[in-house]
C-alpha cells in the first residue's frame, strides 16, 4: 500500500476529530460562549449541513487544481476554521468557524478519496479506501475521547488548538509524503464533471449510501440515553461501551476493505441484513445488558464500516474523480442528518426505542435500493439472433 494512503488517513482523522469535538464539550462550551446546550448542539448540525451543502461547491472551485495543492489549500481553510473556533469571542463566531471547517472537511474527503484511486491499482482500491477510512473510524474511537479529555482538563478551547496543531502536522506529512500527480479530471471541465450525474443508476447508488449511514446514525446518535435510561448502564460505563463500538468499526472497516473490490454488492447486502438484525435485536432486548452489548458491537461491525464498499460502488457507477466522491460524501452526511433528526422526532412521539426501530426501517429501505442491481445481475444477457455460432466460436 503506498505510504501516501496512510498520510491521507491522518488528514481525515484530523477532520473527523474536529467534527465530533463539540459533542464531548457541550456544558463547557455553553458556559464559555453564554449559550444554551441546544444552541451548542446546533453547532454539530451546522457542521454537518455545511459538509453536505457546501463541500461540493468548494470541490468545484478546486477542479482545475492538482490533487496535492488542492489538499494543502483545504488544510489551510480547515486550519483557519479551527483557529477561529479556538479564539471565538461569541456564539456567532463559533458558528462561522464550524461552517468553514465543515465545508473544508467535506471537500477534503472527496479529493482524498479521488487521489487514493489514482495512487492504487483498481483491484485494491477498496482496500486502500478502507485504510483512508480508518482515519474516520479512529476519529470516532480516539479523537472524541481524547479531545473531551483535553477539554475537561485544559478548557474547551484547548482541543481546537490541539486540532490546529494536528492539522499543521498532517499538512506537513502531505507535503512530504504525497506525490505530485496530475488532476484526475478529464478534459471538458465542469460540464463533463456534471454530466455523470445524468446517470439515474448513480442516484440510486448514492441513495443506498444515505440509507446505510442513516440506519446506523439513527441508533448511534442516541446510544447514551438508551444505554443509561433503558438498559440501566451507569454514566461511567457508557464511554467504555462507545470505545468498544469504535474498536468494532475499525475491525469491520478492515474486513470490508478486503472484500469490497470483488464482492461489492454482496458485502452491502450482507451488511444491511446484519445491521437490520442487530437494530431489531437492540430494540426488542434494550433492557437486557448482555444482548445490548452484542447488538451495539454488531452495529459497529456492519454500519459505517460499509464505507469502502459504498465508495467502490459509487466510483463504478460514476467515476473516481473528486466531484463524484465529494457528492457521495454529502449523501453520507445527509444520512447522518436524516438518521439523527428522525430519531429525535421518534423519541418525542414514541420513546427511546424509536430510533432503533427507525434505523431498522432505513436499513430495510437500503436493501430495497439494492434489489434492481441484484435482479439485473441474475437476468441473463439476451442472445443475439443469428449470431450464436459466431459468439461461441469467439469464446463469448
- Predicted confidence at residue 183, as pLDDT, reads 63
Task: Identify whether 392 is part of a domain.
Answer: no
Residue 169 and residue 30 share a domain? yes
Residue 240 and residue 355 share a domain? yes
pLDDT in tens, 254-279: 999 999 989 999 999 999 999 999 99
Say how far apart CA 117 and CA 315 lie, in whole Å: 9
Quickly state the pLDDT bin for 387 (edges 50, 70, 90). very low
Residue 396 has pLDDT above 70, yes or no: no
Residue 158 and residue 264 share a domain? no
Contact indicator for 195, 313 with CB cutoff of 8 Å = no
Mean pLDDT within 137-153 = 83
Quickly state the pLDDT bin for 184 (edges 50, 70, 90). low
Inter-CA distances, 292 with 274, 277, 295, 353, Å: 15, 12, 5, 12
Quickly state the pLDDT bin for 148 (edges 50, 70, 90). confident
Mean pLDDT within 229-249 = 88
CB count within 10 Å of CB 284 equals 14
**Which structural domain range is residue 362 located in?**
192-377
Mean pLDDT within 315-327 = 88
Closest to 193 in 3D by CA, of 207, 208, 183: 183
Cα dihedral: 385, 389, 393, 395 (round 10):
50
Contact indicator for 220, 362 with CB cutoff of 8 Å = no
Residue 381 has pLDDT above 80, yes or no: no
Residues in CB range of 394: below 8 A, 6 or more apart: none
Contact indicator for 337, 210 with CB cutoff of 8 Å = no
Residue 2 has pLDDT above 70, yes or no: yes
Kindly report each contact of residues 22-25 with a partner whose C-beta sits within 8 Å and lies 24 or more positions away, as own/partner. Answer: 22/47, 22/98, 23/144, 24/144, 24/145, 24/147, 24/148, 24/151, 25/147, 25/148, 25/151, 25/152, 25/156, 25/159
DSSP state of 197: G
The label of the residue with cell 460514476 reads: 318
More confident residue, 63 or 277: 277
Residue 388 has pLDDT above 70, yes or no: no
Residue 3 and residue 50 share a domain? yes
Domain boundary, last residue among 184, 201, 218: 184
Say how far apart CA 158 and CA 160 lie, in whole Å: 5
pLDDT in tens, 212-237: 999 998 998 888 889 989 999 987 88
Residue 330 and residue 210 share a domain? yes
Residue 391 has pLDDT above 60, yes or no: no
Q: How many residues does the chain have?
A: 396
- Predicted confidence at residue 190, as pLDDT, reads 73
Q: How many structural domains is the chain composed of?
A: 2
Task: Identify whether 203 is part of a domain.
Answer: yes
Say how far apart CA 209 and CA 311 lie, in whole Å: 9
Mean pLDDT of the chain: 87
- Predicted confidence at residue 384, as pLDDT, reads 45
Residue 100 and residue 202 share a domain? no
Q: Which three cell numbers stand for residue 393?
A: 466460436
Cα dihedral: 232, 236, 238, 239 (round 10):
180
Task: Identify whether 385 is part of a domain.
Answer: no
Which CATH number goes with the domain that contains 210? 1.20.1250.20
Helix runs in the chain, H state only: 3-20, 26-32, 37-61, 67-86, 91-119, 125-138, 144-154, 157-177, 189-195, 200-220, 223-226, 238-259, 264-284, 289-302, 307-317, 322-350, 354-378, 388-393
Quickly state the pLDDT bin for 128 (edges 50, 70, 90). confident
- With 0-12 / 13-18 / 19 or more C-beta atoms within 10 angstroms meaning exposed / middle / buried, residue 273 is middle
Residue 246 and residue 143 share a domain? no
Inter-CA distances, 46 with 52, 61, 100, 305, 313, Å: 10, 21, 10, 24, 29
Amino acid at each position: 500500500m503506498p505510504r501516501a494512503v496512510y498520510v491521507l488517513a491522518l488528514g481525515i482523522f484530523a477532520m473527523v476529530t474536529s467534527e465530533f469535538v463539540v459533542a464531548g464539550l457541550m456544558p463547557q462550551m455553553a458556559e464559555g460562549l453564554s449559550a444554551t446546550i441546544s444552541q451548542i448542539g446546533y453547532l454539530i448540525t451546522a457542521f454537518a449541513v455545511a459538509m453536505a451543502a457546501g463541500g461540493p461547491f468548494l470541490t468545484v472551485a478546486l477542479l482545475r487544481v492538482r490533487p496535492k495543492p488542492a489538499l494543502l489549500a483545504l488544510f489551510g481553510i480547515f486550519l483557519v476554521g479551527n483557529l477561529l473556533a479556538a479564539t471565538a469571542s461569541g456564539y456567532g463566531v463559533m458558528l462561522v468557524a464550524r461552517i468553514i471547517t465543515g465545508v473544508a472537511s467535506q471537500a477534503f474527503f472527496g479529493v482524498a478519496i479521488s487521489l487514493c484511486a489514482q495512487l492504487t491499482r483498481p483491484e485494491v482500491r477498496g482496500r486502500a479506501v478502507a485504510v483512508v477510512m480508518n482515519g474516520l473510524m479512529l476519529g470516532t474511537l480516539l479523537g472524541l475521547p481524547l479531545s473531551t479529555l483535553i477539554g475537561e482538563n485544559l478548557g474547551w478551547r484547548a482541543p481546537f488548538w490541539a486540532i490546529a496543531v494536528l492539522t499543521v502536522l498532517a499538512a506537513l506529512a502531505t507535503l512530504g509524503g504525497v506525490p505530485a500527480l496530475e488532476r484526475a479530471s478529464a478534459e471538458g471541465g465542469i460540464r463533463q464533471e456534471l454530466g455523470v450525474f445524468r446517470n439515474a443508476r448513480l442516484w440510486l447508488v448514492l441513495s443506498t449510501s444515505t440509507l446505510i449511514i442513516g440506519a446506523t446514525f439513527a441508533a448511534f446518535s442516541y446510544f447514551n440515553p438508551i444505554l443509561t435510561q433503558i438498559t440501566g448502564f451507569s454514566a461511567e460505563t457508557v464511554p467504555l461501551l462507545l470505545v468498544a463500538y469504535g474498536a468494532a468499526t475499525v475491525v469491520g472497516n478492515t474486513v470490508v476493505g478486503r472484500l469490497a473490490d470483488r464482492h461489492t454488492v454482496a458485502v452491502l447486502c450482507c451488511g444491511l441484513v446484519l445491521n437490520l438484525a442487530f437494530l431489531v435485536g437492540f430494540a426488542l432486548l434494550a433492557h437486557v445488558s448482555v444482548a445490548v452489548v452484542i447488538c451495539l458491537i454488531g452495529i459497529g461491525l456492519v454500519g459505517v464500516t460499509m464505507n469502502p464498499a459504498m465508495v467502490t460502488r459509487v466510483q463504478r457507477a460514476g467515476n473516481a474523480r473528486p466531484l463524484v466522491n465529494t457528492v457521495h460524501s454529502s449523501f453520507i452526511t445527509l444520512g447522518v442528518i436524516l438518521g439523527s433528526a428522525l430519531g429525535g422526532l421518534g423519541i418525542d412521539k414514541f420513546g427511546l426505542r424509536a430510533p432503533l426501530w427507525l434505523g431498522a426501517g432505513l436499513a430495510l429501505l437500503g436493501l430495497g435500493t439494492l434489489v434492481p442491481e441484484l435482479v439485473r445481475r441474475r437476468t441473463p444477457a439476451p442472445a443475439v439472433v443469428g449470431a450464436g455460432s459466431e459468439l461461441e466460436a469467439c469464446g463469448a
